[in-house]
């Protein structure tokens, strides 16, 4: 049994380290407003259509259960009701906040012009620019869902759980967002509750990471 436990730790070491890093770095956990996030899909889709057609770059992070207040503080607080008109306007060239990321919390646009951490993964494609690396970076540290639009091609990608799906067409993007935003609770929150009660074990740490990846697909 000891050898099995050691083998398990060796095999799943990266996943265990990543989960514990997420739990340790993010003291703020949220549950309010998540049930309403499925209503964000259509405003985001309208925004994507407007910006993608014009090849206007965008970086939109949708906060889930791990708080993003520290990242919101790097930008300008807005705290406005969600609308495709406002969200599109933020990213139009030469506007003061167009060059950073937007963070949506619950059903409100909380902040714009935010600086997201850049992913340091060495295996990422050399063709990925700063926006895409920032999209991956924030999802490595939080459970946010991030929509990113390329200003060079207008292509739309989604980042979640440290992974990037590139070149999504409209129907596929809508399905992905519906799938991710309809979930009122994420695996990280459930696992955190088990940590509090002492019910979590090492196998669940790795399995939680696997489940998040499976749900993403």
CATH number at residue 116: 3.40.1700.10
Among residues 146, 44, 164, 54, which one has the least CA distance to residue 100? 146
Please give the pLDDT value at position 142. Answer: 92
Range of the domain at 175: 23-185
What is the crossing angle of helices 41-53 and 170-181, to 10°?
150
Among residues 169, 41, 32, which one has the least CA distance to residue 105? 32
Instruction: Walk along the chain (217 residues) and give the pLDDT tens digit of each residue.
Output: 544 554 444 444 445 545 554 554 444 444 444 555 888 999 999 999 999 999 999 999 999 988 899 999 999 999 999 999 999 999 999 898 998 999 999 999 999 999 999 998 888 888 889 999 999 999 999 999 999 999 999 999 999 999 999 999 999 999 999 988 886 655 555 555 555 555 555 444 444 444 454 444 5
The DSSP output letter for 13 is H
Q: Report phi then psi at 80, rounded to 5.
A: -120, 155
- 149 located within any domain: yes
Please give the pLDDT value at position 35. Answer: 54
- 17 located within any domain: no
- 131-to-36, 46, 59, 144, 182 alpha-carbon distances in Å: 27, 20, 7, 15, 25
- 193 located within any domain: no
Please give the pLDDT value at position 37. Answer: 81
Among residues 128, 80, 86, which one has the least CA distance to residue 105? 80
- Cα end-to-end span (Å), the chain: 33
Q: Which helix (H) or strand (E) holds 171?
A: helix 170-181
Please give the pLDDT value at position 27. Answer: 44
- 209 located within any domain: no
How far, in Å, CA of 192 to CA of 35, rounded?
19
Kindly write down the DSSP assignment for every residue of 107-156, as one continuous string: TEEEEEEEPPPPP--TTS-TT--HHHHHHHHHHHHS--EEEEE-TTT--E
- 97 located within any domain: yes
- 59 located within any domain: yes
- 214 located within any domain: no
Torsion of CA 195, 198, 199, 200, to 10 degrees: 40
Please give the pLDDT value at position 127. Answer: 83
**Residue 12 CB: number of other CB atoms within 10 A?**
19
Please give the pLDDT value at position 195. Answer: 53
Please give the pLDDT value at position 194. Answer: 53
Please give the pLDDT value at position 31. Answer: 47
How far, in Å, CA of 172 to CA of 153, rounded?
18
| Count: domains in the chain | 1
Helix boundaries (H) for 74-116: 84-91
This prediction's pTM: 0.74
- 56 located within any domain: yes
């Amino acid at each position: 049994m000891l050898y099995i436990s050691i083998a398990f730790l060796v095999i799943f070491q990266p996943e265990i380290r990543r989960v514990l890093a997420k739990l340790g770095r993010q003291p703020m956990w949220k549950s309010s407003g998540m049930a309403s996030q499925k209503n964000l899909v259509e405003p985001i889709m309208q925004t994507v259509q407007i910006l993608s057609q014009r090849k206007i770059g965008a970086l939109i992070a949708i906060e889930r259960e791990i708080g993003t207040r520290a990242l919101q503080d790097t930008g300008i607080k807005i705290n406005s009701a969600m609308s495709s008109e406002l969200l599109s306007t933020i990213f139009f060239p030469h506007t003061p906040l167009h060059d950073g990321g937007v963070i949506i919390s619950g059903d409100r646009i909380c902040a714009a012009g935010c600086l997201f951490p850049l992913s340091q993964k060495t295996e990422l494609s050399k063709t990925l620019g700063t926006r895409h690396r920032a999209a991956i970076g924030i999802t490595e540290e939080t459970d946010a869902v991030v929509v990113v639009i390329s200003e060079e091609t207008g292509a739309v990608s989604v980042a979640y759980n440290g992974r990037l799906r590139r070149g999504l067409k409209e129907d596929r993007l809508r399905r992905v967002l519906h799938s991710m935003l309809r979930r009122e609770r994420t695996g990280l929150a459930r696992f955190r509750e088990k940590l509090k009660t002492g019910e979590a074990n090492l196998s669940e740490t790795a399995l939680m990471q696997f489940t998040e990846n499976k749900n993403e697909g």
